Structure 1
Amino acid sequence: MTTSTAHRETTSGETTSGETADEGGDSPEPAGPSGLPGTLARLGQGLRTVGSRSYWTTPRLVRGLTALSLATLIGLGATATTVLGGVRDGTDTIGHRAAPQATRAADLYFALSDMDAQAANLLLVGADPDYATLRKQTLDTYEQRRAQADDDLQQAAEAASADPAGQRAVQLVLGKLGSYEVLVARAQLLEEQAKAPAGQPSSAALDAYRQATDLLRQQLLPAADQVTAANQATVDRVYGEQRDAMGSGWWWVFAVGLLALAALVGLQRALFVRYHRVFNPALAAVTLLTGIVMAAGLYLVGRADDHLVTAKSDAYDSVIALSRARAVAYDMNADESRYLTDPTRATTYAQAYLDQSQAIVHLDGVTLASYDDRLQEAVTRYRSNHGKVPFGGYLGSELNNLTFAGERDAAERVLGAFQDYQLTDHKIRDLRDEGKLKDAITLNTGLAKGQSNYEFEQLSTAMGDTITINRQAMETAVAETDSDLDGTTAALAGGALAVALGLVALGVRPRLREYR
C-alpha cells in the first residue's frame, strides 16, 4: 500500500515545502537575552526550539522515534547480556569452584583424622597375634588415607591460588604433614621393636605418637578447617551478591524492555497518525519479538535465581554440613582409639570425643555419661514430630534443610547410625572401666556387626549417601543454569537483536524515502 504526498498532514502554516525547508537548515538564531553568556543563551534557545511543536516535522519525529527504538533495543540486549552474564559467572564461582573446594577441604580434614585414627589403632593392637590381620588392614587404610590427603592437599593448593589466607593454611599443612608422617613412622617402628602387647604400647612409641597427634590436632586439622571455612565464606558472599544482582537485574530487564516496547509503540502510532497507516508489518513483528525477548530474559533470570537457591541453600548447605560432620566423625573415632591407647590422657580424649559428638548432634547440658540417654530422648521426640528438630549441630542443620527425594530417609539413617555408634562407644568405656582392656580393644577395632568399626562404617556410609543426594541436586541445578545460559542462548539473543534492528529499519525506510 502506498501513500501520496497529498496524505501528509498539514498544520497551520505548515506545508510539504515548509517541511523540506525545515529539513534543509536551521533558521537564523536570535540574539540571546541581554546579560546572559552567549553559550547559555544558545542552549536555552535550542531547548525551546526542540521543545516546540513546529520543530517536530514528520521526518524529524519518525527519525527521533526510530533512533529511540534502536537505542532501547540495543539497551535491552546489553542489559540482558550483562545481567545473565553475571548470573552465569556467579553460578560458575559457586558451582564449579568455591563449593567443590570447600567440600574437598572437608575431605582433607576427614583423611587427616582417619590417618591418625589408624595410627592410634596400630599402637592399640600392638604385636598381639590375635590382631595380625587387623594390623595389616589398619596399615593399608593408613596408606590409603595418606594418599587421599596428598591428593586433597594438592587440589586445595591449586584452588587457593587467589586466596592469601587459604594459601597460608595450605602451606602450613604442606609443611607440617611430612613431620607428622615421620613421627607416626617412628612410633610404628618403636612399637614393632618393643613387641608390646595390645593396649600397652612402649613409652617411647607412645611419646612419638603423642607428638604426632598433638601436631595434627593443634596445627594440621585447624588449618584444614580454615581452608574449608574460607571457601564456605566465598560461597556465602558470592551467593548473597548474586541474589541481590539478580533481583535488581530482573527489574532492569523489565524496565528497559518496557521502554523499548513504548518506543516501538510510539513509532507505530506516529506512522499511523502522520501517514494514516493502520498497520506496519515490520514494526508489529519487531514489537512482538521485543516482547518475547523481554519475557525470555525475565524468565531466564528468575529460573537462574531458582537454580541458585537450589544449588546453594538447599543442596550445598547440606553438603558442607554433612561433609564437615563426616570429617569430625573421623576425628571422634580417632579420639575413641586414643582413649584406649594412652591412659594418661584418657580424660582429655574422652572430653574431646564428647566435643566432637556435640558438633554432630548438639544437646544442651550433657556429659559423656548422660549423652546416650539424652540422645535417645531427642531422637524419640524427633520421630514423633518431624516438624521440630530438638537438637543442633551439623546433623540438626541437615534435618532442618530437607529438600530432595529420599533425603529424609538418608538423613534419618545417619541419625540412627550415629545413635548405634554412640551406644557401642559406651560399651567400650564400660569394658575399660571393668579392666577388660582386650575386650574393649576388640570391640573398638572389630569389623563385625555390633562392633565399633562396623557401626562407624554404617555411619560414614549413611553420611556419604546423604551427601550424594545433595551433591547430585547441586550439580543438576548448576548444569541447568549452564545449559540455559550457554552459547546457543547468546547466539539466539544476538540474532534476535540483529533481526529486531533490521525490522525497525525496514519498517521506517519507505516512509522516510518519501521526503528525499
Structure 2
Amino acid sequence: MRGLTGLCLVALLATATAIAGVLSDARDGIDDIGHRDAPQAVRTADLYFALSDMDAQVANLLLLGADPGYATQRQQTLETYDQRRTQADGDLQKAAEASADDPNGQRAVQTVLDQLGQYEALVARARLLEDQAHAPAGQPSADALAAYRQATDLLRQQLLPAADQVTAASAATVDRTYTAQRSAITGGWWWILITMALALAALVLLQRLLSVRFHRIINPPLAAVTLLAVLAAAAGLTLASGAEDHLIVAKSNAYDSVIALSRARAVAYDMNADESRYLTDPARAAAYQQSFLDKSQSIARLDGATIDTYDAKLAQAADQHRADHRTVPFGGYLGTELDNITFPGEQDAAERLLTTFQQYEKDDRTIRSLRNQGKLKDAVTFDTGTAAGQSDADFAQLSHALDDVLAINQHALGQAVTDADDDLGLGVALTGGLTLAAALALTVLGVRPRLREFR
C-alpha cells in the first residue's frame, strides 16, 4: 500500500511537471518570437530600407540639380535623407544589441558600422561638388557623379548585403525557435499522456488493493484524485494545443508575412533608387535597369520576364489570381504574402498592394520611354513628381499599401502573443498548483485511515 501510494504521488508530480514544462516552454517560445526575435528581424529589414532610401534621396539630389523649378522637391529630399540617416543609426544600434550572441550577425553589423561613415563622407562630397557646379536637372557634374558612384557602389556592394545578412540571421533565429518549440510541444504531449497513464494506473491499482483488502467499494478521496488528474491532464493537453495554435498563428501566419513584406518594402525603396540612378548616370543606365528588373523579380517573380515583357506577364498573373485567389502564379515576397492570406481584411489589402505594384511598374516604363526619346527633364519631373499620376506619387501609394498589409499581420502577431499570455498566465499556474496540492493531499487522506488499521 505504501509503495502504490508513493507511486501515485510520484506519478501525479510527474504529470504536473510535464504539463507545467510544456506550457511554460510554449509561453516562452511565443514570447521570444513575438517580443524579441520577430521584432528584431523586422528592425534589420528596416535598416536595409533606410539605407536604400538614403541612397535614393542622394540620387534624387543629383537628378534635380540646381534647377529652381525643383527647389521645393530638393528641400524635401534633403529632409528625407536626414530622417533616413537617423533611422538607420537607430536600427543599427538595436541590431548590434540584438546580435550580441550571434557571431554571424555581429560580423554583418560591424561591416555596416565600418562602412556607413565612409558612405556618408562620400555622399557629403558628392553633395558639395554638386552644389558648387550648379548643374542643370539630370546632368550632374562629372566630379559629383564620380563621388556618388563611389558612394552607391559602397552601399550596394557592402552595406546592403551586410544589412540583408543581419536580416537573414534574425529570420533564421525565428525559424529555429519555432521549430524547437513545436517539437517541444509535440514531445510534451506524449510526456503528459505517459505520466497521466502511469498516475491513473497507480490510482486504479491502489483503489483495487483497498477494495480487496478492506472491502471498500469506493474510496471517495482517491476517486476525487482520479477525477482531478483526468481533468488536469485534459486541461493541460487543451492548453498545449491552444499554445501550438498561437505559435502557428504568430509565426507561420503572421510573422512569415511580416518578414516577407518588410523585405519587399526594403527592396522596393532600392528599386526606386535604381530609377533615379538610371537617369542620373547614363553610362551605367543598362546596369541600373537590370538591377531594377532583378528587384522587381524578387518582389513578384515571373520566370523569363524581361523589362519589356514584365508588365504583360504580371498583368496576366494578376488576372489569374483575381479570378481565383487560391491561385498565385508568381513567386517572390508578394507571392509569399498572397499565398499566406489568413486574417480579416488581409486579402483586400494584399490586392491593393498588387494593384499599386503594377502601376508603379508601368510608371517605370514611362520614365525609360521619356529618357529614350531624349526628354530628360520630362523624365526627371515624372520620376520625382508627387502629383497624382507621377511616379513618386504612385510609389507613395505602393509604400502605403505595403504598410497596410504589414499592419494587419503585425497586429495579428501581437494578438497571438497576447492571447498566449492570457491563456498561459499566472492564473493557470496558480490553478495548476492548487490542483496538484489538492490531489496530493487527497491521496494521503484516502490511504491514511487504512494504514492506521495496521497499527
Task: Confirm whether residue 168 of structure 1 aligns to residue 107 of structure 2.
Answer: yes
Instruction: Could you tell me which runs of 5 or more consecutive residues in structure 2 were left unpaired when the two chains were aligned.
Output: none
Could you tell me which of 127, 148, 164 is aligned with 1:209? 148
Displacement, 1:487? Answer: 2.5
Aligned match of 1:122: 61
- Residues 406-421 of structure 1: matches in 2 within 5 Å? 406-421=345-360
Displacement, 1:268? Answer: 1.6
Displacement, 1:243? Answer: 1.3
Partners of 2:209 and 2:408 lie apart in 1 by: 59
Amino acid in the other structure paired with 2:428: T
Aligned match of 2:91: 152
Aligned match of 1:40: none
Displacement, 1:115? Answer: 0.4
Aligned match of 1:294: 233
1:208-227, CA deviations, whole angstroms, 9 ceiling, x for partnerless residues?
11111001000000001001
Aligned match of 2:297: 358
Rg larger in structure: 1
Amino acid in the other structure paired with 2:417: V
Instruction: Could you tell me which runs of 5 or more consecutive residues in structure 1 were left unpaired when the two chains were aligned.
Output: 1-61
Aligned match of 2:423: 484
Aligned partner of residue 199 in structure 1, secondary structure:
coil
Aligned partner of residue 363 in structure 1, secondary structure:
coil
TM-score normalised per structure 2: 0.98
Displacement, 1:486? Answer: 2.1
Could you tell me which of 182, 186, 196 is aligned with 1:247? 186
Partners of 1:105 and 1:337 lie apart in 2 by: 24
Aligned match of 1:220: 159
For this pair of structures, how many residues does the alignment match?
455
Partners of 1:450 and 1:114 lie apart in 2 by: 21
1:18-63, CA deviations, whole angstroms, 9 ceiling, x for partnerless residues?
xxxxxxxxxxxxxxxxxxxxxxxxxxxxxxxxxxxxxxxxxxxx21
Deviating runs (4+, > 6 A) in structure 1?
none
Aligned match of 2:395: 456
Task: Confirm whether residue 311 of structure 1 aligns to residue 245 of structure 2.
Answer: no
1:76-125, CA deviations, whole angstroms, 9 ceiling, x for partnerless residues?
11111222222222222222221111111101100000000001000000
Partners of 1:463 and 1:503 lie apart in 2 by: 59
Aligned partner of residue 161 in structure 1, secondary structure:
coil
Displacement, 1:369? Answer: 1.4
Partners of 1:386 and 1:497 lie apart in 2 by: 50
Task: Confirm whether residue 321 of structure 1 aligns to residue 260 of structure 2.
Answer: yes
Partners of 1:336 and 1:496 lie apart in 2 by: 66
Partners of 1:327 and 1:390 lie apart in 2 by: 23
Amino acid in the other structure paired with 2:339: N
Aligned match of 1:507: 446
Partners of 1:164 and 1:495 lie apart in 2 by: 45
Aligned partner of residue 99 in structure 2, secondary structure:
helix
Aligned match of 1:283: 222
Displacement, 1:469? Answer: 0.6
Amino acid in the other structure paired with 2:286: T
Displacement, 1:64? Answer: 1.5
Partners of 1:359 and 1:269 lie apart in 2 by: 68
Could you tell me which of 128, 139, 145 is aligned with 1:200? 139
Could you tell me which of 89, 93, 106 is aligned with 2:32? 93
1:305-326, CA deviations, whole angstroms, 9 ceiling, x for partnerless residues?
1111111111111111111111
Displacement, 1:196? Answer: 0.5
Aligned partner of residue 100 in structure 2, secondary structure:
helix
Aligned match of 1:447: 386
Partners of 1:495 and 1:162 lie apart in 2 by: 39
Could you tell me which of 418, 430, 435 is aligned with 2:374? 435
